[in-house]
Structure 1
Amino acid sequence: MSAIKSTNFITDNFLLNSEVAETLYHKYAKDLPIIDYHNHLSPQQIAENKPVKNITEVWLKGDHYKWRGMRANGIEEFNITGAASLKDKFLKWAETVPYTLRNPLFHWTQLELKRYFDIDDILQPSTAEAIYEKANSILENKTPAQLLEDMKVEVICTTDDPVDDLLYHKEISEGNFYTKVLPTFRPDNLFLIGKPNFLNYLTKLENAVGFKVDSFEEFLKAIDARIVYFNDLGCRISDFGLGEHLEMVDFTDEQVALIFEKKLKNETLSIEEITTYRSFLFLYLGRKYHEFDWAQQYHLGSIRNNNTRLEAQVGLDAGCDSIADYNYAEFMSALFKNLESTNQLAKTITYNLNPAQNEVFATMMGNFQSGTTPGKMQWGSGWWFLDQKDGMEKQLNTLSNMGLLSRFVGMLTDSRSFLSFPRHEYFRRILCDLIAEDVNKGLVPNDTVFLGKMIQDICYNNAVNYFNFKL
């Protein structure tokens, strides 16, 4: 492919297609701090706060979006996740970037180079060496905490297993950091009772709580202790991320206790027994989240590790996951109905990965809204494969049609990279342009003060109020 003419692609009015859009973005959205309430950043890296030094380490490592793009471009795995040098991996990514045109990776790449390194050149083979050197010269003295502060990231919520000691969260809370780093309770491993390593996980749980988990009663006691522990360290959110088919069935506590005891004896459980146990756990945890006034998140609809050869070579999170076609309507209805019946339904955010289910998720959340909290039941932002321009616009339009866009808690990165935060800018520009388009078509009043306040709420204020962060 011939070189792309290297111009100032990311202009001040990037994605803003009218004067109204420009006003809404520059006057109301641009300078707001960022609340990133779901990501996979490393608390250890933030706490240790060592200079990043190399752009490949902070930008390509762990980024399965880029890995998928490179594989589609015919780059060998050696130069993606293999033993190639950091520079060679960067050069192979630069070789791929021109071919990502019309993929969101192209926009994200140029936006991140512009915001973190003030680089206007398009990344491609002809510019790669100079960009690599300039970025590394800046990162030589940049720590993760500084990168977060540069983007005005006020709060991030990491993703943490119940057995995590949260040591690094403690260190961050005691340090002098601009960004508040809070844990998120991610109980996926508690649900994996059918897996061979579940008993090993119980050993980790025992180590975390300091007592034996040798009965169902002690198991619940251990869960309660970890929730209290997370809460004491500022946790305001839980998250569930097993993307497989889910079902709720009727059960008795006695049935679930027997299933758990059976697992303690290392006996094989049937699919029905696993489903029964999980049904109990969904409700038990849901009631606990309500008790502690947490928001619960459900990321639903992925089919993971499709490429077993690549998984064996690279490991989990290798970038071989995709959209699944499961039906979640009955599951959500049964779960939320049961919790609501006893007035124990916590603030809830759901995310679907299958865009065909946009209206299903949006309308399901409307069934359980409550006068206690504006926007209590949230249908979340475009997730994973859907957090690009088209996916965001479809999510915003469907939410507008089926619910209240004005009560939306906005964007998150769901990222493992400290260079991903311009995605909030990307979302804000798309939102402002979408609202401006309605103004220009005469679909909404041309009241920039009112619309500007609505945009500020979606981009920042709603999240602060919804999660009750102590800023």
Structure 2
Amino acid sequence: MKAFMDKDFLLETETAKHLFHDYAESLPLVDYHCHIPPQEIYEDRRFDDLAQVWLGGENPDGTYFGDHYKWRLMRSNGVSEDYVTGSKPGLERLEKFAEAVELAIGNPMYHWCNLELRKFFGYEGYLSPKSVKEIWDVTGEKLRHDPDLTVRGLIRKANVAFIGTTDDPIDSLEWHEKIANDPTITFQVCPSFRPDKAVNINKAGFAEYMGKLATSVGKEALTSAQEVCDALVERLEFFAKMGCRASDHGLDYVPFRTCTMEEADAAFRKAMAGEELTLAEIEGYQTTLLLHLGRAYHRLGIVMQLHYSCLRNNNERMFRRMGADTGFDMIAQNTCGGSIAQLLSALDLTEECPKTILYSLNPADNAQLGTLLGCFQSDEIPGKIQHGSAWWFNDTKTGMEEQMKSLASLGLLGNFVGMLTDSRSFLSYARHDYFRRILCNLIGHWVENGEYPNDEEALKKIVEGICYNNATRYFNL
């Protein structure tokens, strides 16, 4: 029997062990998509205890911060919300979390938590109700006093070279500017452009947001879809000057319905007046913005990321109480592969298709995405169109393996840009270690099963490419 989470954790063959320890393990991390706040990086925040890092809580404005993966796990164990996101004492909250984790056999959360304890705190045991008090004491002491366990210290300890945060077009990016001008910060932190509130014309708060977008470009108001497009591009150009490497769109599904600018203007005016829009009007406006932004991304060398197929805020009672992004989302089923192809084709027609990463939350879309990629590759860069890493509910051992097997079967796994955390936690960099072990184990099996030659030079190139080199090339780092 193997020891729990030893140095060869998840590495089942000698080839896998060699590939991980000799090539993957020590490479820097490129975390090109996450949700960590740049202000906390600049201010080098220090956390009080592990519950604060892992479970978060309520902000002064009534919103919530923390890891909704962990919140869902606790709720699944019947834990009262007072312990999940509420104001119960930190140790008591961590005890409730440990009770849930003990039952989480087969869940990646079990692995992530224990990897984080090892990587950042040197704790060689495992989280359980029996060990939770010891872990609370050990981690608390280090978080409060260890000079290497501030936010910047955690990032350095994880060997992170690049962080791509997620930022609204109206953001001043003041914290990014301060980070860029601080010579003591040795890793790179750049904004990513997230224009969802401008694209989602059918969502609550659209008209109010348009006022904020107008202010950000020095106008009293925006009066047409064309002005919205112009304002977004102006903000995008500012982001580009601040080092932006990628955009990100969180869409229910990817639409494609062409319309004239006059028709998009009419839909915009209806939305601003509070009138109900037809599906054709919604999709026509959204498509107009996506095409306009896609061309701008290409011109500025910014990667377009499309995340879709999430059905959000399904528990109405809890949504009214807590708002969005608090752990009540699920996988959706959408058949928008054809629409994505139409969007990319329309951009490609004028040779303005940007580098694009596609993420579906529904793993049933893996093969569809794998075949879509090959329709729009070009000599601009290897792997110009990417099947994004297993996302959200799919970043499990099985989910990662299935995404990479699908990509390998239908495209070129060797050009894959690899893992991201998509996280709000500064300890989540351990997920890169998890991914690298799974990657090396997968390749190791293929080699030892005679499905790929034991070619040292080629294997080194593939592993180092997926773990680091491909992303640095793709995002122009």
Pairwise same-fold verdict (TM > 0.5): yes
The one-letter code of the counterpart of 1:105 is M
Q: Does 1:328 align with 2:312?
A: no
**SS of 2:421 mapped into structure 1:** coil
> Aligned equivalents of 2:200 and 2:372: distance in 1?
26
Q: Does 1:387 align with 2:391?
A: no
Task: Compute the displacement of 1:426 (Å).
Answer: 0.6
Once the two structures are superposed, the pairs formed by residues 223-238 of structure 1 within 5 Å of their partners are 223-238=232-247
Partner of 1:77: 81
Partner of 1:4: none
Q: Does 1:459 align with 2:467?
A: yes
> Aligned equivalents of 1:266 and 1:220: distance in 2?
20
Q: Does 1:30 align with 2:9?
A: no
Partner of 2:186: 178
Unaligned runs of 5+ in 2: 57-65
Partner of 1:140: 144
Of 166, 169, 173, which residue of structure 1 is paired with 2:173? 166
The one-letter code of the counterpart of 2:14 is E
Task: Compute the displacement of 1:59 (Å).
Answer: 1.5
**In the comparison of the two structures, how many residue pairs are matched?**
462
Partner of 2:229: 220
**Cα 1:53/1:8, change in 2 over 3 Å:** farther
Task: Compute the displacement of 1:307 (Å).
Answer: 0.8
Task: Compute the displacement of 1:215 (Å).
Answer: 2.2
1:179-202: per-residue Cα shift (whole Å, max 9, x none)? Answer: 211100001001122234212111
The one-letter code of the counterpart of 2:176 is H
Partner of 2:59: none
Of residues 47-56 and 145-154 in structure 1, the stretch that sits farther from structure 2 once superposed is 47-56
Task: Compute the displacement of 1:312 (Å).
Answer: 2.0
Once the two structures are superposed, the pairs formed by residues 262-277 of structure 1 within 5 Å of their partners are 262-277=270-285
> Aligned equivalents of 2:265 and 2:322: distance in 1?
38
Unaligned runs of 5+ in 1: 1-6
Task: Compute the displacement of 1:420 (Å).
Answer: 0.4
Of residues 84-93 and 342-351 in structure 1, the stretch that sits farther from structure 2 once superposed is 84-93
Question: Residues 214 and 222 of structure 2 are in contact (CA less than 8 Å); yes or no, is this contact kept in structure 1?
Answer: no
**Cα 1:195/1:321, change in 2 over 3 Å:** closer
1:302-345: per-residue Cα shift (whole Å, max 9, x none)? Answer: 10011111222222111111110111212111101111111110
Partner of 1:12: 7
> Aligned equivalents of 2:177 and 2:40: distance in 1?
13
Q: Give me the identity figure in percent.
A: 42
Of 31, 34, 41, which residue of structure 2 is paired with 1:39? 34
Task: Compute the displacement of 1:13 (Å).
Answer: 0.6
> Aligned equivalents of 2:323 and 2:127: distance in 1?
29
Partner of 2:122: 118
**SS of 1:450 mapped into structure 2:** helix
Once the two structures are superposed, the pairs formed by residues 421-436 of structure 1 within 5 Å of their partners are 421-436=429-444
Of 419, 429, 432, which residue of structure 2 is paired with 1:411? 419
Task: Compute the displacement of 1:74 (Å).
Answer: 1.3
1:346-400: per-residue Cα shift (whole Å, max 9, x none)? Answer: 0000011111111011111111000111100000110001111101111111000
TM-score w.r.t. the length of structure 1 is 0.96
The one-letter code of the counterpart of 1:407 is N
> Aligned equivalents of 1:269 and 1:284: distance in 2?
21
Q: Does 1:202 align with 2:210?
A: yes
Of residues 179-188 and 271-280 in structure 1, the stretch that sits farther from structure 2 once superposed is 271-280
The one-letter code of the counterpart of 2:120 is Y
**SS of 2:357 mapped into structure 1:** strand
**SS of 2:53 mapped into structure 1:** helix
1:30-64: per-residue Cα shift (whole Å, max 9, x none)? Answer: 10000000000011111111212211111222111
**Following superposition, which runs of at least 4 residues in structure 1 exceed 6 angstroms of deviation?**
none
**SS of 1:155 mapped into structure 2:** strand
**SS of 2:26 mapped into structure 1:** coil
